[in-house]
Amino acid sequence: MARLKSSAEVEAFREAIVNERDTDRPCVTICSGTGCRAYASETLSTAFEEEIKKQGLEDKVDLRTTGCHGFCEKGPLVVILPGEICYVQVKPKDVAQIISQTVVENKIVDHLLYTDPVTGEKAVHESEIPFYKNQTRLVFGNNSKIDPKSIDDYIVLGGYSALSKALFQMTPEEIIQEVKDSGLRGRGGGGFPAGRKWEECRHAPGDIKYVIVNADEGDPGAYMDRSLLEGNPHSVLEGLIIGAYAIGSHVGYIYVREEYPLAVENVFTAIRQAEDYGLLGKGILGSGFDFTVKVHRGAGAFVSGESSALMTALEGRVGEPRPKYIHTVISGVWDRPSNLNNVETWANVPLIIDNGADWYASIGTERSKGTKIFSLVGKVNNTGLVEVPMGTSLRDIIYNIGGGIPEGKKFKAVQTGGPSGGCIPESLIDSPVDFDELSKLGSMMGSGGMIVMDEDTCMVDTARYFLDFLTDESCGKCTPCREGIDQMLTVLTNITEGEGQEGDIELLEEIAGVTRDASLCALGQTAANPVLSTIRYFREEYEAHIREKRCPAGVCKALISYYIQPDRCKACLICLRNCPSGAITGGKKQIHVIDQGKCIKCGICFDVCPKRFSAIEKISGRPVPPPPPLEARAIREKKRRRK
């Protein structure tokens, strides 16, 4: 491929590929994101390749592997173009039927369609599936249309037109103004206005400046940055090149965690391709602007995602935060002005340059513009990656897109913002989701993690879980964070283990305040959110644990016991056979009894007891009733006596 040397050459190249491609020709697209790979989508791709050959269709059918579509739970996903027929949970054994029926005869294979669990309705096209229907996929949408390893696929969809426009029709100042006017705020957590940061970095003294992509993404349950980088690396790269030109930087870094091998692989491929095409390197598109990008593989510490820690790690030192008396846009990597943005922030930039600030600012709320990708996980029917306009309500995300709570259970709370986020209760489910609204509720946007919890979740235990994560991940450099989080964890552990005391809630609030006010970086400053938000909205649960030694959700092992209700037990032996600690006694015709001394509270008996019997009861906050005397345990005899 010869290097493209002007804006006109980009357009001519795009036109040439569009003309060359027959869009009426069937194309089988197979999702090869990490989620679908876990369901063996690579084996599926091979099966399609072999079947196409077997049926002699090599010249008539195209095959394309794509990035993550977002609905990973139903993977592997296969979409047949041009009709966009969507099949879910496809297995290699389905391949022959898909080729001979759908590709050759244009017939639908009914059993592979998505079926709505509530209405029972089937969806033929991906866009008809409720999970997708209610989303606005501006940033993430192209993931399912392109092969992430093909720059041509990206260019066909308009890729690199924003870069051409920026280089040849706009000055760096105009680009910064456009980004400022768009209202784009950083998607990595803080929500800082991107244009303002770019401007400060551009005006910072010094000839050498750096632009950096933050692809560390270490929040438990979050994977939107990884999936975007894996599935559409050129969109991030294009945004980065535009940013570099606007800021006046000639070297960029992509900081991506080593644990994301597919993202690393696809980023390297994208950089090589962009260099070959003249979109990176010396004199980009003949403009005289030089820019190179290096990849730095992070070792996988959560705190290294923090801006100053990440920059320290880029310098080859231990990734620990440092005081930011001087902003990193003035003095960052090797004390040079450095502009760091999140993966999703960069991927928004080409959209803004292509469509204009007014268009972008028309989406979202007054102070939070555009869309946001969320990683919707936990106790929700449709888990996956969801992109919605800022301001969409939590209810819309959880019910209209997420399909509600499984098994008819009650929604209890949603945790947003990653490990340092907060838990929002049911009474606030109609709240709009944007940077400021979430902060008002005691939570935060973070990078977009959203964990749904049902009635069986203990909120004290949830706070303990996140504090446990943060204790491990605190770098330990500053005392308030290192000790504060650890002390909060100790108090929470005591409460969940039945050792809570009067005054513990107040103690937690006090430690939370000190940790927030005195920690060096945002890890410590926000670590108290899970504690404070659960105290704010679920105080009675804390009180039940402390005063009544009762866990209302029946989760905290030290506060619960399992008991077999004699009048419900049918002596079916199922719980007895499954109990791993041999704590259940009984017989074929004899009511079963749990030996509380031997019970390890694993809950297996509760799970395996047939629903029609529901003989096992979880008891908390009151003594376990004594078992019936031995002579009253025989089921038959009992019946006979009744006669």
Ligand X SMILES: Cc1cc2nc3c(=O)[nH]c(=O)nc-3n(C[C@H](O)[C@H](O)[C@H](O)COP(=O)(O)O)c2cc1C
| Least distance CB 275 / ligand X (angstroms) | 25
| 519 close to 513: Cβ distance less than 8 angstroms | no
CA 59 to chain centre: 39
Q: How many residues bind ligand X (CB under 6 A)?
A: 23
> Do the beta carbons of residue 252 and residue 242 sit within 8 Å?
no
**Is residue 564 within 8 Å of 591, Cβ to Cβ?**
yes
Residues 200-259 touching ligand X, rule: CB under 6 A, are: 214, 216-218
Binding site for ligand FES (CB under 6 A): 31, 33-36, 68-72, 75, 77
Question: 10 Å Cβ neighbour count for 479?
Answer: 13
Nearer to ligand FES, 72 or 377 (CB): 72
Candidates 600, 558, 561, 557; CA nearest to 578 is 600
**What are the b/e assignments for 137-171, b being 16+ CB within 10 Å?**
bbbbbbbbbbbbebbbbbbbbebbbbbbbbbeebe
Nearer to ligand X, 10 or 201 (CB): 201
In this chain, which of 67, 75, 305, 384 binds ligand X, going by CB under 6 A? 305
Among 447, 496, 529, 534, the residue binding ligand X under the rule CB under 6 A is 447
Instruction: List the single partner that 216 binds among ligand X, ligand FES, none, CB under 5 to 8 Å by kind.
Output: ligand X
Residue 507 · residue 496 · CB < 8 Å: no
Q: Does 312 bind ligand X (CB under 6 A)?
A: no
User: Residue 461 CB, nearest distance to ligand FES (Å)?
Assistant: 29
Residue number with CB closer to ligand FES (218 or 384): 384
Out of ligand FES, ligand X, none, which partner does residue 75 contact, by CB within 5 to 8 A per kind? ligand FES
Q: Which does 609 bind (CB under 5 to 8 A by kind): ligand X, ligand FES, none?
A: none
Q: Would you count residue 306 as binding ligand X (CB under 6 A)? A: yes
With left for phi above 0 and alpha for psi between -120 and 50, is residue 331 left, alpha or beta?
A: beta
Rounded Cα–Cα distance for residues 170 and 175 (Å): 6
Minimum CB separation of residue 68 from ligand FES in Å reads: 3
Q: Identify residues 42-81 at the interface with ligand X (CB under 6 A).
A: none
Instruction: Determine the Cα–Cα distance for residues 461 and 54; give it in Å rounded to an integer.
Output: 55
Considering only residues 41, 65, 135, 307, which one is a binding residue for ligand X as defined by CB under 6 A? 307
Residue choice 183, 189, 278, 370 for contact with ligand X (CB under 6 A): 189
Interaction residues for ligand X, span 334-363 (CB under 6 A): 340-342, 345
| Minimum distance, C-beta of residue 112 to ligand FES, in the bound complex (Å) | 15
Strand, helix or coil for residue 433: coil
Distance CA 98, CA 63 (A): 13
**Contact assessment for residue 416 and residue 424, using Cβ atoms and an 8 Å cutoff:** yes
Choose among ligand FES, ligand X, none what residue 248 binds, the Cβ cut-off being 5 to 8 Å by kind. none
CA 151 to chain centre: 26
User: 152 or 306, CB closer to ligand X?
Assistant: 306
Q: Does 303 bind ligand X (CB under 6 A)?
A: yes
Q: What, of ligand X, ligand FES, none, does residue 72 touch, CB below 5 to 8 Å by kind?
A: ligand FES
| Nearest distance in Å: CB 348, ligand X | 9
Nearer to ligand X, 260 or 563 (CB): 260
Q: How far is the CB of 387 from ligand X (least distance, A)?
A: 16
Question: Based on CB atoms, which residue is closest to ligand FES, 41 or 161?
Answer: 41
Helix (H, G, I), strand (E, B) or coil at 311: helix
307 binds, among ligand FES, ligand X, none (CB under 5 to 8 A by kind): ligand X
Give the whole-angstrom CA distance, residue 497 versus residue 491: 10
Encoded tokens for 480: 């308030």
Determine whether 635 is exposed, middle or buried from the number of CB atoms within 10 Å of its CB (0-12, 13-18, 19+): middle
Give the torsion sign (CA, 608, 610, 615, 619): positive
Compute the C-alpha angle 374/376/378, nearest 5°: 150
Instruction: CB nearer to ligand X: give 192 or 268.
Output: 192
Choose from ligand FES, ligand X, none: what does 69 bind? Cβ within 5-8 Å by kind.
ligand FES
Provide, rounded to whole angstroms, the least separation between the CB of residue 376 and ligand FES: 12
**Which residues form the interface with ligand X (CB under 6 A)?**
186-190, 192, 214, 216-218, 302-303, 305-307, 340-342, 345, 447, 521-523
